């Protein structure tokens, strides 16, 4: 599964939107049924667990229909019951102070709709998962479908303790610090009032949550341990992730055999191509059933996993030691004044004020003036907005956990 990105089919259904480069496709859905979609995760973390409920919608262009007013409960094999409160439309959460999953126990999810329709999951056992012993980086290459070779950084983990279960899944979150290349240095009021300003919005942080389906049986590694397991690849020339400082958090989940099968089906469906309206060669499996109406299908899956996490930073100095090609900003500097070819579309008489207004409307930022030796204004200097203001692509607030190295 290296180098491939998968978006689960039922996630597409939840979103109710397909992203495409061609004209929007509005299919006529025959024999349409509104089905319950369940996105639920129970872990042994000291955090709230969630159940997100929606219903499928007939139009792919409309927002998903939130499933509100339901009663959501979890029951374990020892008779303990946890009630999930609806914190927002269709989102139900547990109390992290009074309830958390326990490895070795099995859990059943119960959902009762406002009209009395009852849904129930199969009992799901939470299997223990070993710690991630180390998380580290190395230089690597991938070959794309068109034959192009991409250079970059591979993220690896070691999990050396023999696994107590046979199946695993991984997800990851990324954060990175970046600086914009051409900060705004001057403020333009008019051609007779241009003054220097403090530099702002130079440094920001960005983040990403993985959408890859990363699964693997323990039997593929000797003794059920993972040594230098590749998790994902960062093409170093494709983004500004590695230019200042980078951080990644890997989450390792235990899976049951049936949940592993569910994720494997999602991969096969995506590999088969087409869209969600095609006849799929693989069944959409779920461990949730409608008790009141056995013929009614339910989409989604009740996930029960023990989890372990590891977080690691990668500094620019360490990236340089890996000797990989890095991202380069496409920020050509535009120096323009009245009479230059770039001003041909500006109505006469062309003034610096008109030049300023024209290029600002074209999503350029004025960064500084240029004067001749006599102190006369001769050019205005512009760059694309994203090259002068980091807040257009990032957040100026440092993440709470972040440590500058």
Tell me the domain boundaries of the chain: 9-128+259-306, 134-251+314-322, 334-392
Which whole-number Å values give the CA distances from 179 to 71, 75, 87, 314, 390, in the listed order? 47, 49, 37, 16, 7
Q: What long-range pairs does 82-88 form, CB within 8 A, spacing at least 24?
A: 84/49, 84/50, 84/51
Name residue, tokens 């309206």: 277
Tens place of pLDDT per residue across the chain (405 aa): 333 333 443 443 333 322 233 333 334 445 556 789 999 999 999 888 999 999 987 665 667 789 999 999 999 999 999 999 999 999 999 987 788 899 999 999 999 999 999 999 999 999 999 999 999 999 999 999 899 999 999 999 999 876 677 899 999 999 999 999 999 999 999 999 999 999 999 999 999 999 999 999 887 666 668 899 999 999 999 999 999 999 999 999 999 999 999 999 888 877 766 444 444 445 567 999 999 999 999 999 999 999 999 999 999 999 999 999 999 998 989 999 998 999 999 999 999 999 999 999 999 999 999 999 999 999 999 999 999 999 999 999 999 999 999
Q: Which two tokens stand for residue 120?
A: 């129930």
Collapsing DSSP to helix, strand or coil, 360 comes out as: helix
pTM: 0.85
C-alpha span between 98 and 49 (Å, rounded): 11
C-alpha span between 334 and 204 (Å, rounded): 24
Is omega for the bond preceding 349 within 30 degrees of 0, making it cis?
yes
Which residues make Cβ contacts (< 8 Å) with residue 110, sequence separation at least 6? 71, 72, 73, 74, 75, 118, 119, 120, 121
C-alpha span between 125 and 261 (Å, rounded): 15
C-alpha span between 405 and 315 (Å, rounded): 7
CB of 348 closer than 8 Å to CB of 156:
no
Give the strands of the sheet with 226-235, arranged side by side. Answer: 134-143, 149-159, 226-235
Collapsing DSSP to helix, strand or coil, 154 comes out as: strand
3-state helix, strand and coil shares in percent for the chain, rounded to the nearest 5: 15, 40, 45
Name residue, tokens 């029951």: 75
C-alpha span between 254 and 310 (Å, rounded): 15
CB of 122 closer than 8 Å to CB of 109:
no
Q: Which two tokens stand for residue 381?
A: 């200097």
C-alpha span between 319 and 391 (Å, rounded): 25
Q: How many distinct helices (H) and strands (E) make up the chain? A: 4, 24
C-alpha span between 129 and 309 (Å, rounded): 11
Collapsing DSSP to helix, strand or coil, 5 comes out as: coil
Counting Cα atoms < 13 Å in the Cβ hemisphere of 288 gives 24
C-alpha span between 287 and 349 (Å, rounded): 72
């Amino acid at each position: 599964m290296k180098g491939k990105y998968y978006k689960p089919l039922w996630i597409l259904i939840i979103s109710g939107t397909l992203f495409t480069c061609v004209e929007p496709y509005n299919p006529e859905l025959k024999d349409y049924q509104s089905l319950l979609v369940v996105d639920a995760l129970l872990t042994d973390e000291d955090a709230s667990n969630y159940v997100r409920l929606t219903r499928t919608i007939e139009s792919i262009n409309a927002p998903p229909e939130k499933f509100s007013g339901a009663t959501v409960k979890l029951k374990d094999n020892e008779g303990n019951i946890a009630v999930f409160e609806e914190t927002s439309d269709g989102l139900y959460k547990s109390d992290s102070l009074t309830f958390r999953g326990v490895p070795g126990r099995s859990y059943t999810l119960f959902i009762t709709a406002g009209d009395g329709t009852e849904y129930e999951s199969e009992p799901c056992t939470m299997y223990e998962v070993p710690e991630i012993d180390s998380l580290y980086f190395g230089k690597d290459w991938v070959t794309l479908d068109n034959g192009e070779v991409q250079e970059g950084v591979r993220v690896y983990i070691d999990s050396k303790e023999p696994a107590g279960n046979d199946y695993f899944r991984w997800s990851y979150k990324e954060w990175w610090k970046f600086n914009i290349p051409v900060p705004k240095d001057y403020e333009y009021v008019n051609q007779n009032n241009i003054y220097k300003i403090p530099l702002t919005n130079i440094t920001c942080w960005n983040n990403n949550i993985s959408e890859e389906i990363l699964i693997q049986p323990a039997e593929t590694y000797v003794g059920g341990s993972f040594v230098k397991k590749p998790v994902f690849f960062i093409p170093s020339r494709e983004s500004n992730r590695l230019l200042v400082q980078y951080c990644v958090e890997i989450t390792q989940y235990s899976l049951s055999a049936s949940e592993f099968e569910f994720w494997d089906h999602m991969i096969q469906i995506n590999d088969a191509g087409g869209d969600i309206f095609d006849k799929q060669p693989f069944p959409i499996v779920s461990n949730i059933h409608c008790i009141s109406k056995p013929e009614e299908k339910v989409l989604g899956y009740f996930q029960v996993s023990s989890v372990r996490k590891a977080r690691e930073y990668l500094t620019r100095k360490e990236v340089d030691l890996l000797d990989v090609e890095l991202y380069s900003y496409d920020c050509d500097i535009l120096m323009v004044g009245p009479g230059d070819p770039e001003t041909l579309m500006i109505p006469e008489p062309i003034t610096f004020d008109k030049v300023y207004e024209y290029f600002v409307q074209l999503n350029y930022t004025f960064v500084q003036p240029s004067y001749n030796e006599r102190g006369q204004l001769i050019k205005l200097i512009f760059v694309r907005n994203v090259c002068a203001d980091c807040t257009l692509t990032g957040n100026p607030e440092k993440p709470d956990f972040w440590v500058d190295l």
